[in-house]
Amino acid sequence: MRGRWDRDIRAGRRKVFFSKSAGPREDRGEAPPTERAEAPGDTLHVASRLHAFNRFELKYLVPVDRAAEIRDELAERMEWDPHSPPGGYGVWSLYYDTPQLRFYWEKIEGLKFRRKLRIRHYGDLDGVTGDSPVCVEIKQRVNRVTQKRRITLPYDVARRLCDDRETVEHSARESAFVQEVLELIVRLNLRATAVTGYQREALVGRDADTGLRITFDRRVRGRDRDFHFGIATPENRFTIPPHMSVMEVKVNERTPHWITDLAARRDLNLVRISKYVQSIEAFGLAPRSVFHIGAADCPPPAAPATPTNEQPPRRRPAQRSASAKAGAQ
C-alpha cells in the first residue's frame, strides 16, 4: 500500500472528492493560493471539516503560583471544563516532521500558512494500549487563525497510519482526512520527531462568552526518542522551567474586554511560544532561537532568607541531567 501511495504522489495525480451538497469538486480549502508553501504540482488537499474548529489563540507565560490566583479569579466568571478533573489531566502529543524539520522552521520563520501533524492522547500514559483512543490531528495556522482537524482512532491504528503509511480502517466520513494525512506523510517524508506532555486545567466561557476557553499547562516536558506512548518509565525532561506555566486564551472571534482588562491588571505579557519548538531546541535538534524560553529567562522565585543564627544546608553536587529527568517523569 505504501508503494502505491508513493507512486501516486510522484506521478502528480490530482485527487477529486465528492460532496453530497456540492457534487464533484477539487478540494481547495487548505490555504489561499498566495500562501501555499508547497512546490508546483503539489497534490496535497484538505479534508472536509470533520471535527474541525477555528480559533484565535493568545499565550502568556505565568509562574505557577500566579497562575493559580488567575485561575481562581477566572472561575468566578467561567465554568470548569467538564472533562477537567481537579488537578487537571495529562496531554501527550507525538509530533511528526521532515528530516530537515520543515514544520519547526515554518514556525520559527513565522510563515502565514503553516501546519503540524501529531497524534494526541488525553490522560496519563500509564496503561495506554493499542486500543486506547487517540486523536490524529492536523493543526495549521492561516494568518492569525488557528485551525484544527482531527479524527479519533485506536492507538495502534493511528501509528499504522502515521508510521507505516497504511490505509487504515475508518468511516466514510473520515476518508478524505485519512487520505490527506497519508499524502502529507508520503509527500514530505514525515517521521516521528518529538513527544511533548503537560498537565492541563481548562475553563470554558458561559453566557455571552460561549466559545471562550482558557487553559493552564504546567510541568511541560518532552523527549526526542522512545516515541511509544506505553513506555513504563520514559526519560522525559522539562522543556519549560517547572515553576512556569503556559496560559492560553482561545476565542472564536473577539477576546472579551474583561479578559484584556485582567491581563493588563495582572501585568501579563503576550509571548510567542510553542511546546514543540521548545522540545526541538531543548534536545539540540536545532539551534536555540530568539523565541526559546530557558531557565535564564524566568529564574525561579527566591528562596526564603535563612535566619542569621543558622547555617544554610550544604548542597549536594548538582547532577543536572539526572535530576531533570527524574523530576519530569
Strands 89-97 and 191-204: antiparallel
| CB distance 262 to 226 below 8 Å | no
Predicted pLDDT at 186: 97
The pLDDT tens digits for 261-305 are 999 999 999 999 999 999 999 999 999 988 888 877 888 876 655
Predicted pLDDT at 52: 66
Mean pLDDT of all residues belonging to the chain: 81
Q: Is residue 7 pLDDT above 50, yes or no? A: no
Distance CA 175, CA 252 (A): 27
* 78 vs 305, higher pLDDT: 78
Q: Tell me which residue of 215, 154, 223, 157 sits closest to 192, measured CA to CA.
A: 223
Single-letter amino acid, residue 155:
Y
Predicted pLDDT at 296: 75
Q: Which of 166-170, 230-234, 290-294, 315-319 has the lowest mean pLDDT?
A: 315-319
Which cell numbers hold the place of 54?
A: 477555528
| CB distance 193 to 95 below 8 Å | yes
Helices assigned H by DSSP within 95-174 = 102-108, 155-162
Q: Is residue 23 pLDDT above 50, yes or no? A: no
How far, in whole angstroms, is CA 299 from its chain's centroid? 25
Distance CA 169, CA 166 (A): 9
**Sign of the torsion formed by the C-alpha atoms of 232, 238, 239 and 240:** positive
Task: Quote the percentage of the chain above a pLDDT of 70.
Answer: 75
Q: Tell me which residue of 94, 60, 98, 101 sits closest to 287, measured CA to CA.
A: 101
Predicted pLDDT at 232: 72
Global pTM exceeds 0.95:
no
The pLDDT tens digits for 303-322 are 655 444 444 433 434 444 44
| CB distance 110 to 213 below 8 Å | no
Predicted pLDDT at 328: 60
Q: Is residue 153 pLDDT above 90, yes or no? A: yes
Helices assigned H by DSSP within 218-307 = 257-265, 275-282
Q: For 270, which DSSP code?
A: B
Q: Is residue 213 pLDDT above 80, yes or no? A: yes
- The band of 327, judged by pLDDT with boundaries at 50, 70 and 90, is low
Query: Is the domain 2-11+45-227+235-299 a CATH 3.20.100.30 member?
Result: yes
Predicted pLDDT at 183: 96
Domain ranges of the chain: 2-11+45-227+235-299
Q: What are phi and psi of 140, to 5 degrees?
A: -135, 160
Cα–Cα separations (whole angstroms), residue 22 to 25, 51, 156: 7, 20, 35
Which residues make Cβ contacts (< 8 Å) with residue 66, sequence separation at least 6?
Answer: 266
